[in-house]
Structure 1
Amino acid sequence: MSMKEVCCPYFDPEFENLNERIYGPSCRVYVDNDSCEKCTVVKVDSLNKQGLLLEVVQVLTDMDLFISKSYISFDAGWLMDVFHVKDQQGNKVTDNGVINYLQQSIVTRRELKSSGDPKACTEDAVEVEPESTSECTAIEMIGTNRPGIFSEISAVLAEQKCNIIEAHAWSHNACVACVAYVSDESTSTCIHDPSRLATIEDHLSTVLRPTTITDDEFKGAKTRFLGCDSSTSHKEHRLHQLMLANRDFDESPGSARASFSSMGSNGDEDGRRTTVSIDPFNEKGYSCVNVECPDRPKLMFDIVCTLTDLQYVIFHASITSHGLFAYQEYYIRHKDGFILNSEQEKQRVAKCLEAAIERRVCEGVRLELCAKTSVGLLPYVTRILREYGLTVTRADIATDGGKTKNVFYVQDISGNEVDMDILESMQKELEPLAFQVKNEVLRRTTSMEKESFSFGSLLKSQLEWFSHNYIRD
């Protein structure tokens, strides 16, 4: 017998399945409509992987489910999530088809993340794009924000004979980020020619640069071609990452950061704004992140997404709503196991979370235009908006079944309130496009649960987190 044979350790082939043999399947999803009178309770028990919580929240968000309350606990390698959710009408989720899709989506994402599939194990969450983008070239853009920049981006792509199939753009502080899917105008297929791609990138980079460049205000301009692979990162996740990379959390000169202490003129809750505080929880070796802000859809996704991208692991969390306000509490450590020690690190994390919460909120007017898909529609519409003194602060463009739906959030370029008479005149010019104008007010569920909840007390009292009966209203 050789020395190698003597010294090599023996591993039971069933070792990798040991956890599953002890705990059962590595991911179990329960949907309960009986335990809570007002909400559907979704409970996920799973072996934990970094980023898995984000994947679960992403599934709920993509299905347009509103998370009114949640409890998260991760211990001994096992993750337990409890979510109280409602649909967009504020009702329980009762459709069996929707429930089955929800369960299968969460389990599938868990299996992909555990499988070692390179598409599932990148830092970016992977999502299969709609069929409309399968023959498109994906472009990511980050740059310096200014009035009319989305119109300029649309014009450049039109000049380069690109048909915009889908696009999503956010702006916040002095930054703008955009993810667009384009095809060749003449062939309706991917753009492969390296020379042409280089030309498109050069023109877009020029547009994305600030008009006046100084060392202090230049935040960089970048375009990135992702090719024609139909599997690209989750669009909203990528927008968060692009804005974070472009440091939109840095305050622009003269701006005032919102805080929880700022009150409305009548001094009630409606005047409250966003605040983030980070405190040590030395007894258990965590940093406690407290977020208080107006409640809205996708709030939990935005926060979990940012903490994950900043390389923090969420061990415990509680999310609840009081009326129109949300209280979220996260117990975290850095991926290397350390808590947030320095004030500089705490301030940076707080600023990043505030930016993540604020960048999705669009004050202004929401415009919806629906028309038969045609080349040049988007550049035409954005040019009209610009000519009427309006700037796009956020855009969501999608093509489905031969029709294109354009959703724009617009503000007056000069900073004044949007003149409705101007919108009426613009509507006449854009006829016969289906055109709707809405003064955007974020939809909030009217009957939120009002009980408070603190994980600090749970952790201190060592309550049992892994009871399958832990579902309560």
Structure 2
Amino acid sequence: MERYNPSEVYELFVRHMNNPRVVVDNGACATATLVQVHSARKHGVLLDAVAALSDHGVCVRKGYISSDDGRWFMDVFHVVDAAGGKVADAGALLARLESSLSADALPPRPPPAAAGAGTPTLLELVGADRPGLLSEVFAVLHDLRCGTVDARAWTHAGRVAALVFVRDEETGSPIDDAARVRRVESRLRHVLRGGALGARMVRADASAVNMDRRLHQLLNEDGEAGSRADRAESEAEAPTPTAVAVQDWVERGYSVVTVSCRDRPKLLFDVVCTLTDLDYVVYHGTFHTDDDHARQEFYIRRLDERPISSATERRRVIQCLEAAIERRASEGVRLELRITDRRGLLAYVTRVFRENSLSVTHAEITTRGDMAMNVFHVTDVAGRPADPKTIDEVIQRIGTESLRVDEERWPRLCSTEGDAGRGGGGAGIFSLGSLVKKNLVSLGLIRSCS
């Protein structure tokens, strides 16, 4: 029987006493499912809750975050399913949230050397984007006998980041031989035309890696947010529908972040993820959607409980949030591939894209049993919409039974009021405290001055 140190048992006891309490209620609201999370203040708990909602496939229509400026937080979310109705599997959603936020398990221990024989190896890739890059990456992996299990790739502002779980094509075992790892990394760095950060192989449990969060981190570490802002200034691009502002509430010692943009899936996750990874704590917040437009407001402080203190820090927060919101926006035609998996499948499919002058802007690769279920967003090599004739030719070549055009349904399904667009982003920013103060007054946490 494995024994734990008394300090580990005490840590478990403390964590258990402060375990978040979750309520999922289908009766409190006529149009949405109400989710409440009561928790002790701990950095990352809000992100865990939002990530669980995103992973469950629900859409957050509105909600708020509030705290007593001490140890306790209360998060409230009004969520709907993909069809815009209440969540039918409320019990499953509750179980997912409780599992994500649970502190019942003892701290994980590093696995022994012989453990995890079936765990795939994670490749982290970052570099300058160019037409046909993913085709070259998958061709190299196939040449080196690395089979792809799962993968996700994003492109934005001329950069690309990808996470690829691979294993040996012959044996299905992880790739952990040091010489082979160096060979794979070297070949991929050459393709990515990058330095030591261009390609890196690590052992990681796929179930423990939040791929979306890691992609955000890779692109932020790569400086993509800053390069995006520099390009926008130099090229005098038209204003985007995304507007982010950071203001000060000196009397309360908060920085107030406001976001106004078009609503889409996982928007709240992307904003909260970015703030968390920049080491800010959200003390209060309000978010809601109006038609297909989202408005969010967050009262934040740094981990040292101080607000944003310089123009440079303020500019970085704005740049990182704008990039996080925009980089997930999927450009191009959405192609869905469902086919029996085989060696070299991704190398072949992406080569067909390249030979037909199609560029992949986003990719999501999933393997379940012997089936490959992949999604690609493609444009022409100049980033313009792909020619429908070209798409038809690609579908004919790969197989009409396997590859099809699939419209992005989520943005319309998340909106219960229709698809009416909004004007420029600047008009969407609202005054300091306009959303949060209303909720704080109603909760009795601050007094109204009116």
Pick from 201, 213, 223 the counterpart of residue 185 of structure 2. Answer: 201
Aligned partner of 1:110 in structure 2 is: 101
Equivalent in the alignment of 2:19: 26
1:316 and 1:331 in contact (8 A); partners too: yes
Deviations 1:238-274 (A, max 9, x none): 11111111111123598437xxx968xxxxxxxx700
1:72: which partner in 2?
65
Q: 1:47 aligns with which of 9, 24, 40?
A: 40
The equivalent residue for 1:367 is: 335
- DSSP 3-state at the match of 1:256: helix
Query: What is the identity, as a one-letter code, of the residue corresponding to 1:463?
Result: L
Q: Distance in 1 between matches of 2:156 and 2:206?
A: 28
Question: For residue 79 of structure 1, what is the amino acid of its counterpart?
Answer: F
Quick one: which of 219, 227, 237 aligns to 1:251? 227
Q: Does 1:436 align with 2:417?
A: no
Structure 2 residues not aligned, in runs of 5+: 1-9, 111-115, 421-429
Q: Distance in 1 between matches of 2:408 and 2:378?
A: 10
Whether 1:275 and 2:243 are equivalent positions in the alignment is yes
Q: 1:356 to 1:118 in 2, by over 3 A?
A: farther
SS at match of 2:411: coil
Question: In the alignment, is residue 389 of structure 1 matched against residue 353 of structure 2?
Answer: no
- The DSSP-based 3-state class of the residue aligned with 2:232 is coil
Residue of structure 2 in register with 1:417 after alignment: 385
The answer to whether the 8 Å contact 1:134/1:230 transfers is: no
Counterpart CA distance in 1 for 2:16 and 2:71 is 10
2:149 to 165, 170, 179: 165
Shift of 1:425: 1.3
Aligned twin of 2:80? 86
CA deviation profile, 1:76-132 (whole Å, cap 9, x unmatched): 21110000001111110123xxx233223323333349955478xxxxxxxxxxx9x
Alignment map for 1:312-331 (pairs within 5 Å): 312-331=280-299
Number of residue equivalences: 414
Q: Matches of 2:254 and 2:302 in 1, distance apart? A: 9
Pairing of 1:163-312 with structure 2 (within 5 A): 163-209=147-193, 221-227=197-203, 229-230=205-206, 232-252=208-228, 255-256=231-232, 273-312=241-280
Say whether the 8 Å CA contact 1:144–1:221 is kept in structure 2: no
| 1:125-158, Cα deviation, whole Å (9 max, x unpaired) | xxxxxx9x95311111111111111111111101
The alpha-carbon deviation at position 457 of structure 1 amounts to 3.7
Native 8 Å contact 1:209 1:220 kept in 2: no
Equivalent residues of 1:68, 1:321 under 8 A apart: yes
Change (3 A) 1:390 1:115: same
Contact conserved, 1:392 with 1:409, CA < 8 A, in 2? yes
Task: Choose which of 441, 445, 464 in structure 1 pairs with 2:444.
Answer: 464
Rounded Cα–Cα distance in structure 1 between residues aligned with 2:295 and 2:359 = 33
**1:450-473: CA deviation from partner (whole Å, max 9, x where unpaired):** 9x97113444x473369xxxxxxx
306, 314, 326: which is aligned to 1:358? Answer: 326
Instruction: Determine if the alignment matches structure 1 residue 455 to structure 2 residue 443.
Output: no
Scaled by the length of structure 1, what TM-score is found? Answer: 0.81
SS in 2 for 1:43: strand
Query: Contact 1:143 / 1:222 at 8 angstroms: preserved in 2?
Result: yes
Q: Deviations over 1:416-459 (max 9, x none)?
A: 32100111111111125511114547523232599x97113444
Select which of 104, 113, 127 maps to 1:143. 127
CA contact (8 A) 2:118 2:173 kept: no
Deviation at 1:230, TM superposition (A): 4.9
- Counterpart selection for 1:156 from 129, 137, 140: 140
1:154–1:378 CA contact under 8 A, matched in 2: yes
Write the letter of the residue equivalent to 1:446. S
Name the SS of the counterpart of 2:443 in structure 1: coil
Q: Tell me the alpha carbon deviations over residues 1-55 of structure 1, each in whole angstroms, 9 at most, x when there is no partner.
A: xxxxxxxxxxxx99x76995xxxx7321111112211100000111121000000
TM-align CA RMSD: 3.0
Query: How many angstroms apart in 1 are the aligned matches of 2:67 and 2:270?
Result: 20
CA contact (8 A) 1:141 1:177 kept: yes
Give the distance between the partners of 1:276 and 1:316, measured in 2 at CA: 17
For residues 116 and 448 of structure 1, the distance between their equivalents in structure 2, rounded to whole angstroms, comes to 45
The 8 Å contact of residues 333 and 385 in structure 2, kept in 1 or not, is answered as: no
Tell me the secondary structure at the aligned position of residue 38 of structure 2: strand
> SS of the residue aligned with 2:299?
strand
CA distance in 2, matches of 1:363, 1:345: 30
Instruction: Give the secondary structure class of the aligned counterpart of 1:251.
Output: helix
Distance (whole Å) between structure 1 residues aligned to residue 402 and residue 293 of structure 2: 35
- Which of 376, 386, 399 aligns to 1:408? It is 376
Report the CA distance shift for 1:82/1:139 in structure 2 as closer, same or farther (over 3 A).
same
The one-letter code matched in structure 2 to 1:44 is V
